[in-house]
């Protein structure tokens, strides 16, 4: 353990911990960032999980939110080794009829593929895309009076609708399925309120900044953040899991990049009874079963568009995806799970030896499930890419228990830091004036269990650090509005 006093300590080096540590250090504080594992990064690590020479993203793979992050965009990350590669098509969605819907940078080319739903798609997305740069800082933030209330109201009108409602404006199975695949990232039944929000956000991100893949692996986002942090004087200590506050050096503020369950274990004795009760009621959601493959060739998708897409959503129709998510939510294993697949090596040759490839995929499973979903996931891929199994050289899997073992923030395999439904969208982890504060002075929570929630954007960490700067150090930072570069 580093000796001496610090102004602030951040526990956990996921994108939110890194963002918090950076903002505090940038404001003249002395900051120590502590990570339990030997390597920094949290959900941003990459490793040779299968065979030598094949680099796999252990958790996050595709980064629309990192590319759009109002805070990350203020940092000189490219000078610290971060370079993105951009797929030709951000996401493709194949159907049993052989067609595939796509989402790519050009909104018109995206809409063209939807045939009779072209105008419906443009009517839904165009206004949002035009206002996206102004809207994003308001969306990736805790509940507040927005800087752009009219634009925000326009977004909210559609965002709060369930997918099953908003897709009624489309006539084709392709447009409905495409929207459902985007929305299924919420890990909620598609009939839930506000499930359309994430679909709209992901589509608008594609049409503005794209869905980039970090060259060399997702770890390079974490490395660039850490390199910038140390370049401005920040200190990092790895290999130290914090189980008690007694392990920490003295500091005026401590920010935890952990979820409520862990926060209770570490600092519960410092909290009021009501705050402890609130944290204990926090709900975790579905888990994931994840597979990484080393492949002898690219995945032989029948639909051409899927071969040049960074992400492929495999789930066929709205009906099929809705059934799969509903069953999982009810604690059952879906026979035909919705599969999220990424093929990084097509766009980043450093990921695999020449001529070989990697693929990354997961499906949703009930929280805590130890079921092996390899067969079900590979069956789904084979359905749209016959011959896929023959390309497999090696594979590596994580069930939900292994996922939590790998990263204690993935409680029961929940990769979003808690259920992302309307009840926890703005009030995660508990209903408070500032969700980042705890009932104990100087202790904060900054993980994806706070607004705006899961994904690699660092904005939970940014807002938590901003709050600590105000409360503890008397610094009031300006609104982050003009930094969407
Ligand atoms: C399979 C999978 C796929 C994903 N795909 C994507 C994607 O494509 N795009 C995307 O944007 N997001 C994706 N995500 C989600 C994304 O990774 C997370 O939302 C994000 O990493 C959350 O960041 P965080 O900083 O809140 O926490 P984390 O990234 O989970 O980091 C928390 C860190 O804190 C450390 N820690 C925890 N407890 C302690 C302790 N007591 N003491 C010391 N250290 C501690 C952990 O070791 C970890 O390093 C994916 C996640 C998974 C698992």
Per-residue exposure over 96-134, b if at least 16 CB sit within 10 Å of its own CB, e if not: eeebbbbbbbebeebbebbeebbebbbebbeebbebbbb
Task: State the Cα–Cα distance between residues 189 and 164, nearest whole angstrom.
Answer: 10
Give the mean pLDDT of 402-413: 98
- Helices in 385-485 by DSSP H: which ranges? 400-406, 422-425, 459-473
Torsion, Cα of 320, 357, 393, 313 (10° steps):
0
d(CA 138, CA 148): 8
pLDDT at residue 14 is higher than 60: yes
Angle at 232 between CA 230 and CA 235, to 5 degrees: 35
CB 237, CB 32: distance < 8 Å:
yes
Task: Give the pLDDT confidence score for residue 426 in this predicted structure.
Answer: 84
Mutual angle of helices 260-267 and 273-280, in 10-degree steps? 150
407 Cβ inside 6 Å of ligand 1:
yes
- pLDDT interval class at 1 (50, 70, 90): low
17 CB near ligand 1 (under 6 Å): yes
Q: Is the pLDDT of residue 484 over 60?
A: no
Residue with CA nearest ligand 1 atom 50: 60
The torsion angles phi and psi of 190, rounded to 5 degrees, stand at -75, -5
Closest ligand 1 atom, CA of 403?
A: 53
pLDDT of residue 478: 83
Does the beta carbon of 62 lie inside 6 Å of ligand 1? yes
How far apart are the C-alpha atoms of 477 and 485, rounded to whole Å?
Answer: 19
Question: Ligand 1, atom 53: nearest CA belongs to which residue?
Answer: 59
The residue nearest atom 4 of ligand 1, judged by CA position, is 60
Q: DSSP labels for 385-409?
A: STTGGGGEEEEEEE-HHHHHHH-TT
Q: How far is CA 231 from CA 75, 228, 235, in A?
A: 12, 5, 9
String of DSSP letters for 195-254: THHHHHHHHHHHHHT---EETT-THHHHHHHHHHHHHTT-EEE-S----SGGGSPPEEEE
How much is the pLDDT for 458?
A: 98
State whether the beta carbon of 90 lies less than 6 angstroms from ligand 1: no
The H-or-E segment that residue 90 falls in is strand 89-94
Report which of 355, 166, 169 is spatially closest to residue 182, judged by C-alpha positions: 166
Cβ–ligand 1 contact at 415 (below 6 Å): yes
Q: What atom in ligand 1 is closest to the CA of residue 62?
A: 8
Phi-psi region at 389: left, alpha or beta (left = phi > 0; alpha = psi -120 to 50): alpha
- Predicted confidence at residue 2, as pLDDT, reads 58
CB 459 within 8 A of CB 141: yes
Average the pLDDT over 198-221 and give the result.
Answer: 97
Say if ligand 1 is within 6 A of residue 290 CB.
yes
Question: How far is residue 129's CA from residue 146's CA, in Å, rounded to a whole number?
Answer: 18
Distance 417 CA to ligand 1 centre (A): 8
pLDDT at 392 (0 to 100): 98
pLDDT number for residue 483: 44
8 Å CB contact between 245 and 3? no
Q: Which of 14, 38, 41, 221 to mutate to test the pocket of ligand 1 (most atoms within 8 A of CB)?
A: 14
- What's the 445 CA to ligand 1 centre distance in angstroms? 14
- Of 285, 286, 323, 295, nearest in space to 381 by CA: 295
Give residue 38 CA to ligand 1 midpoint distance, Å.
15
What is the rounded distance in angstroms from the CA atom of residue 284 to the CA atom of residue 232? Answer: 36
Q: Which of 60, 268, 290, 451 has most ligand 1 atoms within 8 Å of CB, for mutation?
A: 60
Which residue has a Cα nearest atom 10 of ligand 1? Answer: 455
**Cα(163)–Cα(168) distance, rounded to whole angstroms?**
9
pLDDT digits (tens, 9 = 90+) for 47-104: 999 999 999 999 999 999 999 999 999 999 999 999 999 999 999 999 999 999 999 9
The closest of 203, 175, 449 to 317, measured between CA atoms, is: 175
Q: How far apart are CA 135 and CA 204, in angstroms?
A: 11
70 lines ligand 1 (CB under 6 A): no
Residue 63 CB–ligand 1 contact under 6 Å: yes
Q: Whose CA is nearest to atom 6 of ligand 1?
A: 60
User: How far does the centroid of ligand 1 lie from the alpha carbon of residue 264, in Å?
Assistant: 18
- DSSP-derived pairing of the beta strands 89-94 and 235-237: unpaired
Above 90 in pLDDT, residue 123?
yes
* CB distance 136 to 455 below 8 Å: no
Ligand 1 neighbour 344 (Cβ under 6 A): no
pTM check: above 0.95: yes
What is the per-residue pLDDT for 482? 43
- Cβ atoms of residues 275 and 268 within 8 Å: no
Q: Could you count the other beta carbons within 10 Å of the beta carbon of residue 422?
A: 15
CA distances from 75 to 78, 241, 253 (A): 8, 28, 23
Average pLDDT score over residue span 429-447 = 97
Ligand 1 test: best mutation among 2, 20, 42, 236, most atoms within 8 Å of CB? 42
Say which DSSP state 413 is in.
G
Minimal-distance CA residue to ligand 1 atom 45:
12
99 CB near ligand 1 (under 6 Å) = no
Decide: 459 in ligand 1 pocket, CB within 6 A: no
Distance of alpha carbon 286 from alpha carbon 309, whole angstroms: 26
Query: Of 301, 328, 354, 266, which Cα lies nearest the Cα of 54?
Result: 354
Mean pLDDT, the chain, rounded, equals 96
What percent of the chain stands above pLDDT 70?
Answer: 98
Find the 109 Cα to ligand 1 centroid distance in Å: 34
Separation CA 159–CA 294 (nearest Å): 38
Categorize the per-residue pLDDT at 164 as very low, low, confident or very high, splitting at 50, 70 and 90: very high
Give the C-alpha distances (Å, rounded to integers) separating 367 from 236, 382, 419, 440.
32, 26, 11, 30
Looking at residue 345, its pLDDT comes to: 98
């Amino acid at each position: 353990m580093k000796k001496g006093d610090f102004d602030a300590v951040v526990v956990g080096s996921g994108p939110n911990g890194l963002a918090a540590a950076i903002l505090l250090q940038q404001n003249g504080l002395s900051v120590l960032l502590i990570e339990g594992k030997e390597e920094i990064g949290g959900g941003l690590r990459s490793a040779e999980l299968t065979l030598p020479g094949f680099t796999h993203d252990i958790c996050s793979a595709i980064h629309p939110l990192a590319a759009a992050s109002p805070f990350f965009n203020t940092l000189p990350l490219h000078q610290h080794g971060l370079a993105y590669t951009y797929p030709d098509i951000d996401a493709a969605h194949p159907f049993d009829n052989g067609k595939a819907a796509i989402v790519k940078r050009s909104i018109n080319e995206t809409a063209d593929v939807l045939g009779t739903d072209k105008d419906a798609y443009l009517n839904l997305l165009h206004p949002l895309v035009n206002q996206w740069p102004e809207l994003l800082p308001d969306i990736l933030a805790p509940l507040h009076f927005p800087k752009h209330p009219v634009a925000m109201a326009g977004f909210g009108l559609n965002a709060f609708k369930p997918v099953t409602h908003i897709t009624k404006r489309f006539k084709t199975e392709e447009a409905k399925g495409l929207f459902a695949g985007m929305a299924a990232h919420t890990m909620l039944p598609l009939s839930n309120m506000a499930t359309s929000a994430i679909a709209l956000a992901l589509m608008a991100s594609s049409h503005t900044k794209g869905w980039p893949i970090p060259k060399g692996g997702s770890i390079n986002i974490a490395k660039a953040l850490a390199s910038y942090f140390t370049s401005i004087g920040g200190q990092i200590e790895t290999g130290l899991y914090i189980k008690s506050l007694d392990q920490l050096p003295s500091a005026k503020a401590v920010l935890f990049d952990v979820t409520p369950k862990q926060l209770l274990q570490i600092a519960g004795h410092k909290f009021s009874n009501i705050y402890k009760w609130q944290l204990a009621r926090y709900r975790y959601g579905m888990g994931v079963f994840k597979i990484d493959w080393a492949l002898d060739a690219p995945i032989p998708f029948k639909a051409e568009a899927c071969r040049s897409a960074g992400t492929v959503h495999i789930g066929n129709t709205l009906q099929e995806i809705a059934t799969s998510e509903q069953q999982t939510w009810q604690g059952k294993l879906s026979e035909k799970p919705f599969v999220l697949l990424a093929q990084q090596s097509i766009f980043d040759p450093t990921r695999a030896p020449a001529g070989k490839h990697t693929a990354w995929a997961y499906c949703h499973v009930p929280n805590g499930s130890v079921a092996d979903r390899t067969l079900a996931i590979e069956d789904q891929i084979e359905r749209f890419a016959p011959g896929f199994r023959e390309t497999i050289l090696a594979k590596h899997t994580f069930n939900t228990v292994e996922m939590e073992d790998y990263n204690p923030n993935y409680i029961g395999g929940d990769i979003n830091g808690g259920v992302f439904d309307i009840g926890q969208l703005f009030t995660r982890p508990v209903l408070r004036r500032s969700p980042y504060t705890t009932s104990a002075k100087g202790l904060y929570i900054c993980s994806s269990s706070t607004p705006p929630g899961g994904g690699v954007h660092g904005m939970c960490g940014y807002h938590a650090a901003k709050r600590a700067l105000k409360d503890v150090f008397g610094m009031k930072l300006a609104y982050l509005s003009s930094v969407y570069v």
